[in-house]
Structure 1
Amino acid sequence: MGEERRWERSYPAGVRWDAPIATATLTDLFDDFTRRWAAKPAFEYRNRQTTYAELRAGAEAAAAGLMDLGVRPGTAVALYLPNTPLHPLAFFATLLAGGRVVHLSPLDAERELAYKLKDSGARILVTTNIGFMALLASKLRSDGLLDHLIVGDDTAFGPSAIPTTPVPEGALPFERLRERGAAGLPRQWPRTDVEDIAVLQYTGGTTGKPKGAMLTHANLSAACSIYKLWSDPQRISAPGEDRVICVLPLFHIYALTSVMLRSFVEGNQLLLRVRFDVDTTLEDIEVKKATVFPAVPTMWIALANRPDIDKRDLSSLRYAASGGAPLPVEVAERFQKLTGHRIGGGWGMTETSPAGTAMPREWTGRAGSVGLPLPGIDMQIVALDDPRRVLPPGAKGEIRIRGPNVTKGYWNAPEETAAAFVDGWLLTGDIGFMDEDGYFYLVDRKKDMIISGGFNVYPRIIEEAIYEHPAVAEVSVIGVADAYRGEAAKAFVQLKPGARPFTLEELRAFLADKLGRHELPAHLELRDQLPKTPVGKLSKKELIEEERQKMKAAAE
């Protein structure tokens, strides 16, 4: 077995792959951490701190209110929320009442919201009056998709420049829900089993309809335990002391587990932010002395491109991490050179809650690696044409994974579930390889691979090379139809402020010693901005659809 898990030989001192992984219901975890850290601040939002004891009291009152509305074990409750105190309150309230959380994205189109509500069976929705969210939710209720609409007033959390709307007529104010519940707390909360679904977490839906990954209490608590088994021997976290910037959206699995649940279990404080901007993040580090900053690559790119980043005081920052998408090597190296801070990272996905791999806190070399499989997690590389044929170190193929953190499947989607699993292993759709020491590397998404003139071309490899160009801020590469090659690479580039535009020929000349001839982009388009997902990751589906429409129009 040692040869099968060759990453164990590369583990940091004190980390054991076979260490026992604890599972529990999230309600038991909630009970434990809110008692243990009662007097400590759980989160800060608009300069107001909320203690763990206050979080507990607020969530319990809201849970009792939800039970009055008919929430019972297994009832689906949709959370249509950005990063405000309403999220942790409503999240734990739903679980305490025995329900399951259905996460909706504030950037979802109305049609997507309607689909997720119908698919999940959620007839109760909790939202805020930020922007037009409450109005859109009210329309969904008018369309017969909701029985109860609960709206929190964002102005209750203090003054802000963020625009709000009045709470719609007929909606139940969140504060009134809490008041009703506080007046009649149950003697005992409904019993929950670790194998019950805690969260229906919809995948991005880059192709076809979104799929709801069924994440159980066991999956999510196992992920927390796995992270702890990895972090504690390396002293990555300082329980009860860390101040963690939470700008990643809590409706996404990365922030939900890796940031919120982990921080709460450790008794740390979240600096809760509705959205990312460079100035606020720097203030959180320089003034509020944040110690941990988990982010996605676009945020690190924005910070690395800040003209004065090398002069800012980032001394309080103990740990910086990147996830959600591969971090370009050039960006990581530039940020370290400018600030002295190394950006740790790893790989995971919605279906893995999202534990997968991580880089050790101290490492040398391994540029571009996403790290080692975490304790209790098995990973292999299998052939693209045969998911049962395991490939040797160095060979490129599809990554498959298994572990106690991996979803049991997709909600109401037996065919998709069957297609995603082989002999108990989840097929991730990510192409990569493992080196001799057990470090994993991502090459690309299987669905993003371009077949050009019979060659497999990986957009991420092209993107990494383009990021080396000094004028490039962000880049996305997709495959487009090509009469000669079948497919060819097209690069969409956002330039750094003030940078001189360049032509396709100039770009190809720059890339000539970095890529093979078959990998050189055949098309280039400069853009003021590139599309992003709700989490801030660069998104390709809009670009692919634009190109498809262009081709369709040209054929007419």
Structure 2
Amino acid sequence: MQHPNPWATGYSHPTAWDREYPPMTVPAMLAGAVARGPQAAMIDFMGRTYGYAEVLDGARRVAAGLHKMGIERGDRIGLFLPNVPHYVAAYYGALMLGAVVVNFSPLYSVEELAHQVEDSGTRVLFTLSATALLPTAVKVLAASGLERLVVGSIAGALPRGKSLLYRLLKRKEVAARPDDARITTFSALIANDGRFPEPVIDAVRDVALIQYTGGTTGSPKGAMLTHQNLTANARQIIDVDPEAGAPDRIVGALPLFHIFANACVLNRTVANGGTMVLLPRFDAAAVLAAVERTKATSLPGVPTMYQALMDHPKLATTDLSSLRVCISGGAPLAGPVKARFEAATGAVLVEGYGLTESGIAATNPYEGLAKTGTIGQPLPATTMRLVDREDATRDAPAGEPGEIVIHGPQVMAGYWQRPELDATTFADGGLRTGDVGVIDEDGYVRIVDRLKDMISVGGFKVFPSRVETVLYRHDAVRDAIVIGVPDAYQGERPKAFVTLVEGAAVTGDELMAWLNPLVGKHERCVAVEVRDALPRTLVGKLSRKELVAEELAKAG
């Protein structure tokens, strides 16, 4: 029988593990931050700062404008936006009105956006007058149940000098706004006094955010996150920081439409009264410049972001000494990347873990023992237990890996309009993650594989990460993905895809000849394919689904 919380006696985070988080709405969280520091900078966007009271006023005007459009409590408001001030005002404004925010990636195609708009029942969509966004949004307006578009301008959010340059030099990146009564400008929406009937919001029951999964298989599902899910998670993230409350400037290079940034950049920063240094997209040179210019204290990111920063030629001449602690998520953090980043910056880089359905659930401690290769210990008020991989109603056998199940105030209420999934998504009230892990005697959790990535070879289970781990031991391998490919006799066989480090010269056949003697008989690959690049998700995680689709197409 596994101990229910092996970390309890050796908890390394500065706040007690059994802390409770009283219900709180997202608007109440923002109001608290405004009350504590109305003139403090909440947003830094390309050098233009927006104070807390200023952002609150803008959010209230968004709420009033939406109310005038007929938007009511529970209606869905979509954000088809990069990291710009419009996003923050629209996010908090919609939530003040009791509406539900739906995040959409700016990289979506017309088909992807239209599908999720229809699935969520989104009534109003916020976007920008950018050629990469507005034409797509206009097509979705014509082809779906979407009722209104609200269109902002990047130039209007920039400092005056940069705004003029943008208008002069970036005209080709600005799309003409169609003459359509259903399309209004952001400035017209907020041209009001900010007054609206304020609803009573139930923090525990009312959904604040529908966050679509970036799942590797099947159609995306909308995770319903309540106000309490979001505010509890923001407070949990603050509570693992020994210096919470100190000057706090977070570089927002992660996309705000993703749950990682929603938790660690947007809500956590506001709950702590800090400043978000927003960048419309990740660019290594821009990130380095932003850290130096603002004396940023933290840079949440994914491992590929830290690798790109370490590889950039301007790294050696950039002052990054203000960085204090950075949290890495989305993919395993390699030890060499962690070591290089910490040596170059003097900051601490810790690995954490979360899901669309749970926000952030675990992290290595900012101070004290950080175990490389683990996701650390659960956040306060969070329990992680291991269940049997075949039967989630039973605990995993002692000493064996099991599926990780999360209990905590940040765990979602369920999937939007998919109640039939609850039976397989939750186990004894906890969220089944689909991740297979082990928990050591100190309560540190190590992810060893994904249930849905498992390859069945003649009845034997092969976990891709076991083979990938061996591939990473080869000096020439930079990135590796192992998938199952159809096999007439065995059902499936493993196949590996790799990229090579710069200057390496090795063939796929040579790598396969090196690899196969080092793994089990059923784990041996039928091929190792060398590529220039491997597919990644929007936040930089290596992605299997594109390769699986390719191989299935080849098989016929």
Is TM-score (shorter-chain normalized) higher than 0.5? yes
Which residue of 1 is the match for residue 465 of structure 2? 460
Instruction: Give the % identical residues.
Output: 40
Which residue of 2 is the match for residue 72 of structure 1? 72
- 1:303/1:309 contact within 8 Å kept: yes
Q: Quick check: 1:51 aligned with 2:51?
A: yes
What's the secondary structure of 1:478's corresponding residue? Answer: strand
Once the two structures are superposed, what CA deviation does each residue of 1:484-523 show, in whole Å capped at 9, x if it has no partner? 5432332222334x42331124324554786545445432
Find 1:438's aligned residue among 443, 450, 475: 443
- 1:11/1:360 contact within 8 Å kept: no
Once the two structures are superposed, the pairs formed by residues 372-391 of structure 1 within 5 Å of their partners are 372-391=377-396
- 2:392/2:427 contact within 8 Å kept: yes
Which residue of 2 is the match for residue 332 of structure 1? 338
How far did residue 208 of structure 1 move? 1.8
**543-552 or 107-116: bigger deviation:** 107-116
What's the secondary structure of 2:7's corresponding residue? Answer: helix
Q: Quick check: 1:214 aligned with 2:224?
A: yes
Q: Quick check: 1:500 aligned with 2:504?
A: yes
Which residue of 2 is the match for residue 19 of structure 1? 19
Find 1:425's aligned residue among 422, 430, 447: 430
Which residue of 1 is the match for residue 105 of structure 2? 105
How far did residue 97 of structure 1 move? 1.5
Q: Separation in 2 of the partners of 1:463 and 1:328?
A: 13
How far did residue 550 of structure 1 move? 1.0
- 2:114/2:144 contact within 8 Å kept: no
Once the two structures are superposed, what CA deviation does each residue of 1:109-158 show, in whole Å capped at 9, x if it has no partner? 22221121111111211111223311111111122422111111122123
Amino acid at match of 2:541: K
Find 2:550's aligned residue among 535, 542, 546: 546
Which residue of 1 is the match for residue 178 of structure 2? 168
**164-173 or 331-340: bigger deviation:** 331-340
Which residue of 1 is the match for residue 210 of structure 2? 200
What's the secondary structure of 1:204's corresponding residue? Answer: coil
Q: Separation in 1 of the partners of 2:74 and 2:249?
A: 34
Once the two structures are superposed, what CA deviation does each residue of 1:156-201 show, in whole Å capped at 9, x if it has no partner? 123447622122322100111011x33x623x52221112010111
Q: Quick check: 1:319 aligned with 2:325?
A: yes
Once the two structures are superposed, what CA deviation does each residue of 1:335-392 show, in whole Å capped at 9, x if it has no partner? 445555442021111111x121111113446331111111111111111111011125
Q: Separation in 1 of the partners of 2:283 and 2:379?
A: 31
Which residue of 1 is the match for residue 62 of structure 2? 62
Once the two structures are superposed, what CA deviation does each residue of 1:246-299 show, in whole Å capped at 9, x if it has no partner? 011111111011211100111111110111121112212233321101001221
How far did residue 86 of structure 1 move? 1.0
- 1:2/1:8 contact within 8 Å kept: no
- 1:395/1:434 contact within 8 Å kept: no
Judged with a 3 Å threshold, the aligned counterparts in structure 2 of structure 1 residues 549 and 13 are, in CA distance, closer, same or farther, namely closer
Q: Separation in 2 of the partners of 1:118 and 1:202?
A: 13
What's the secondary structure of 1:275's corresponding residue? Answer: coil
Once the two structures are superposed, the pairs formed by residues 503-518 of structure 1 within 5 Å of their partners are 503-508=507-512, 511=515, 515-516=519-520, 518=522
Q: Separation in 2 of the partners of 1:393 and 1:223?
A: 30
What's the secondary structure of 1:369's corresponding residue? Answer: coil
What's the secondary structure of 2:300's corresponding residue? Answer: strand
How far did residue 203 of structure 1 move? 0.8
Q: Separation in 1 of the partners of 2:221 and 2:408?
A: 20
How far did residue 528 of structure 1 move? 2.5
How far did residue 475 of structure 1 move? 2.8
Which residue of 2 is the match for residue 151 of structure 1? 151
Amino acid at match of 2:22: A
Once the two structures are superposed, what CA deviation does each residue of 1:21-40 show, in whole Å capped at 9, x if it has no partner? 13201111121112322111
Q: Quick check: 1:297 aligned with 2:303?
A: yes
**441-450 or 280-289: bigger deviation:** 280-289
- 1:201/1:213 contact within 8 Å kept: yes
- Structure 1's unaligned 5+ residue stretches are none
Which residue of 1 is the match for residue 160 of structure 2? none
Total equivalences in the alignment = 543
Amino acid at match of 1:245: V
How far did residue 456 of structure 1 move? 2.7
How far did residue 549 of structure 1 move? 0.7
Which residue of 1 is the match for residue 420 of structure 2? 415
Q: Separation in 2 of the partners of 1:254 and 1:141?
A: 28
**516-525 or 29-38: bigger deviation:** 516-525
Judged with a 3 Å threshold, the aligned counterparts in structure 2 of structure 1 residues 304 and 508 are, in CA distance, closer, same or farther, namely farther
**444-453 or 482-491: bigger deviation:** 482-491
Once the two structures are superposed, what CA deviation does each residue of 1:2-39 show, in whole Å capped at 9, x if it has no partner? 94211112212743111121320111112111232211
What's the secondary structure of 2:393's corresponding residue? Answer: strand
Report the TM-score when normalising by structure 2: 0.92
Q: Separation in 1 of the partners of 2:47 and 2:365?
A: 34
Amino acid at match of 2:201: T
Judged with a 3 Å threshold, the aligned counterparts in structure 2 of structure 1 residues 63 and 547 are, in CA distance, closer, same or farther, namely same
Report the TM-score when normalising by structure 1: 0.92
Amino acid at match of 2:553: Q
